[in-house]
Every structure is written in structure tokens, then in C-alpha cells.
Amino acid sequence: MIPNLFYCEVIAKKNILRNKLHLSAFLPKVETMLFEWSEASISSPFSTITDISLNVELHAYKWSLNVNRSEILNWFNNHYIVPSSTAIMTTSAWLNIYKSNQWPSFDDYAAWKSSCWMVSPLASCTCPIGLKEYICKHSIGLAIILNMHQIKDETRCTPLGKRKTPGRPKKVRTAWLP
């Protein structure tokens, strides 16, 4: 288990592990550190849900508007198969290959792996961003489609088109009159 950065700072401030200590001095210090850590974990437990930022919610909202809803498959309980933006095969073909677990070549496997994502709304997704950050546009967007998540007003007010380019707007020319 990797220690929390806070406790690494505590160790550095107290100079516990910088000097060699005798076992009789080291064990009580470690015992008090563990006691303080367990007391801190009771007062501030680990997070069980991921916070949804405004940027991720905006991308999810855009995705939910543009996705082909007929391609979304309810597979198992609360898991859905959604197409990726670079989908080579349909979601039903993807699911059949997933069930058979057989690919003729590695290239077919690579194409299959990036064609669809397995998503659980507001929980998990198999896309690279979902695997790294635990929340992505697919899981939030699917929750928006299934009415499990309400979009904040701030997200709705954000323009969905192109951003304004920097600089001064061009001068409007007069139209030629006949």
C-alpha cells in the first residue's frame, strides 16, 4: 500500500525515518503514527463517489446530444454498451465478439477494443479516461440520457458551438448597392 502524501509529510516533519533509531524508540513512534492515522480516517472517511466537474459535465452533455441512442445496448443489469467516436463495428457485433472471446488476429482485437465501451452510469467506463479518472463523459452522458443525472444550469448556459476566437472582431463591410 502506498502511503498518503499527508503522512509522508508528517514523517518528514517529525524526522522519524531520517535517522536510524533503536527499535525501542522506533516502535512507539510508529504506533502513535498509526493511532493518529486511524483516528483521522474515522473523522474523514474515504470518498465513495467522484466529483463531477463542470468541464466533464459539459462534454457529457454534448456527447448525450450527439450519440446515436439506438446503438446503446443494455447488456447486464446496470451495464450498457455504447459506441466510441471511432467505432468500426456496431455495438451488437462488439457484444457478440465479447461473449465469444475470440479474435482472428491482434489487429482485429485492437479494432474491437477501441470500437465500444462498457459503461455503468455514474460509476465506471472502460474508455481510457474512465479507467484513469473513474468518471468520464460516457458514464455521465448515459446517466443524462437515462434521467439519472440532472444537468446544472451553469452547464446549460455554456455555449455548445465554437468558442469565441481571441482578438477584435472584423469590421463589417458595407454591401454593394445596385
The per-residue pLDDT for range 79-134, each reduced to its tens digit, is 999 999 888 888 999 989 988 988 889 998 999 999 999 999 988 899 999 889 88
Q: What is the DSSP string of 131-167?
A: HHHS--HHHHHHHHHTTSSPPPHHHHHS-SSPPPPSS
Q: Would the pLDDT of 152 be above 60?
A: yes
Q: Report residue 140's pLDDT band, with 50, 70 and 90 as the boundaries.
A: very high
* Rounded Cα distance, 134 and 50, in Å: 7
Q: Report residue 144's pLDDT band, with 50, 70 and 90 as the boundaries.
A: very high
* Rounded Cα distance, 7 and 175, in Å: 70
The per-residue pLDDT for range 41-89, each reduced to its tens digit, is 787 777 677 788 888 898 999 899 989 888 999 988 889 999 998 888 8
* Rounded Cα distance, 113 and 126, in Å: 9
H/E stretch holding 120 reads strand 116-120
Give the SS3 label for residue 82.
strand
pTM for the whole thing?
Answer: 0.64
Contact (Cβ atoms closer than 8 angstroms) between residue 81 and residue 127? no
Which residue type, as a one-letter code, is found at position 108? Answer: D
At 18 the pLDDT is: 63
At 1 the pLDDT is: 44
